[in-house]
Amino acid sequence: MHEAHKRSLQALARRRRLRALAPRAGLDFSSNDYLALANSEALRHAAREALDRGVPPGSGGSRLLRGNDPEHEALEAEAATYFGSETALFFGGGFAANTALFGTLPQRGDLIVHDALIHASVHDGMAISRAEHCAFAHNDANAAEDAITAWRRSGGTGRAWIAVESLYSMDGDTAPLDDLADIAERHDAMLVIDEAHATGVLGPGGRGLGASLEGHDNVVALHTCGKALGVSGALITLPTVLRDYMVNRARPFIYATAPSPLVAAIVRSSLALVNEAPQRRERLAALVSHFGAELHRQCGLASTGTHIVPIIVQRDERALRIANALQNDGFDVRAIRPPTVPEGTARLRISLTLNVTADDVTRLIARLAPLLEETLSGETEP
């Protein structure tokens, strides 16, 4: 029994790609807790205050049965105001939200054109969608437009949907949103922006890199609540008619137990904190700047200018060796390997958070520099 599963795991182990859970250890250079809110006293206080006023930890059912709580509705209303959208819909997580979005809103006869590096959750949504889909070269707006044009010439009559991340989680670079918005206008297309790694950190008031586009009738955005906001869940911001359609048609929404009302209450507090206290974003921006300067000074490498910095070392074994050495010295840096990233682009994914200091950054890079020199100078694999 389970021999096929066992063989698959053994094959992963032989390729050094077997995943396993491990406890947290070392300085945080790997999480998405960019503003250090996840373990903050501010959100602990928000949780206690919500419990004291009777907010329940559990919802008891789906939103369409008895699980719809005033905290869900209050969060959605406040999120729509904060992000500048017509309305919002709350999900238990970003993966479920993306799967629901792409599996529900694009219709039969439509086309989803997506960035080649789009998140796995979008791929799962497209897998259950009735729409066609195709990839375009990473951050190449012209390629996105060419794909739509070719589809029209071949007889496509539905609506095109352009799917991108505003800040890419493994590369730390940003999408050409203004160009893509122009393309969407020219082709009567929808633009879907996954703001997961930008929400709370980038854009005016931490509202994301697509903040100026929110509220447009042809724009849908996803904002996760478990990264910079420090809690969990996700908000889709969108026109009211599309929200109503998802409430009626999105199976991951209809048939799932509603997210915890207590979580919704804490997210409300987190949004208010991010909106009213820019100091955390300013401190993170200073840390990003310091990291870039030190990376150039000590390693001769350019940074991304964002809080996500990949150090690409190409080969899986090199990424693992460097990550293990850093972890042994108390720096929690992880190796990212295919299939999460393309073949030949194994990397260290360094994320910058307010859980570390500028001195921690300097010490990390001082340890990283000789490790990179050893591996990138042509060290042979064992």
Q: Delimit the domains of the chain by residue range.
A: 25-39+278-376, 55-276
Same fold, 25-39+278-376 and 55-276: no
Q: What is the pLDDT of residue 377?
A: 57
Mean pLDDT of 235-258: 98
User: Is pLDDT above 80 for 380?
Assistant: no
User: Is pLDDT above 60 for 376?
Assistant: no
Task: For domain 25-39+278-376, give the fold.
Answer: Aspartate Aminotransferase, domain 1 (3.90.1150)
Helices (H) and strands (E) in the chain, counts: 13, 12
What tokens appear for 18 in the block?
């077997």
Under the banding of pLDDT at 50, 70 and 90, the label for residue 375 is low
Work out whether the CA dihedral 352, 357, 359, 363 comes out positive or negative: negative
Given a contact cutoff of 8 angstroms between Cβ atoms, the answer to whether 199 and 208 are in contact is yes
User: Is pLDDT above 60 for 382?
Assistant: no
Q: Which residues contact 94 (CB under 8 A, 6 or more apart)?
A: 121, 196, 222, 224, 226, 234
Q: Which residues contact 100 (CB under 8 A, 6 or more apart)?
A: 91, 125, 236, 246, 250, 251, 252, 253
Q: What is the mean pLDDT of the chain?
A: 95
Mean pLDDT of 240-266: 98
Mean pLDDT of 30-42: 97
181-198 confidence digits (pLDDT tens): 999 999 999 999 999 999
CATH number of 55-276: 3.40.640.10
* Strand duo 132-136 + 160-165: pairing: unpaired
338-365 confidence digits (pLDDT tens): 999 999 999 999 999 999 999 999 999 9
Q: What is the pLDDT of residue 1?
A: 87
Whole-number Å distance between alpha carbons of 268 and 203 = 19
Mean pLDDT of 206-216: 98
Name which of 154, 161, 157, 75 is nearest 125 in CA terms: 161
Mean pLDDT of 71-91: 98
CA 184 vs CA 114, 133, 143, 313: distances in Å:
13, 16, 13, 36
Percent of the chain topping pLDDT 70: 98
Q: Annotated active-site positions, please?
A: 32, 119, 165, 169, 194, 197, 227
pTM of the model: 0.94
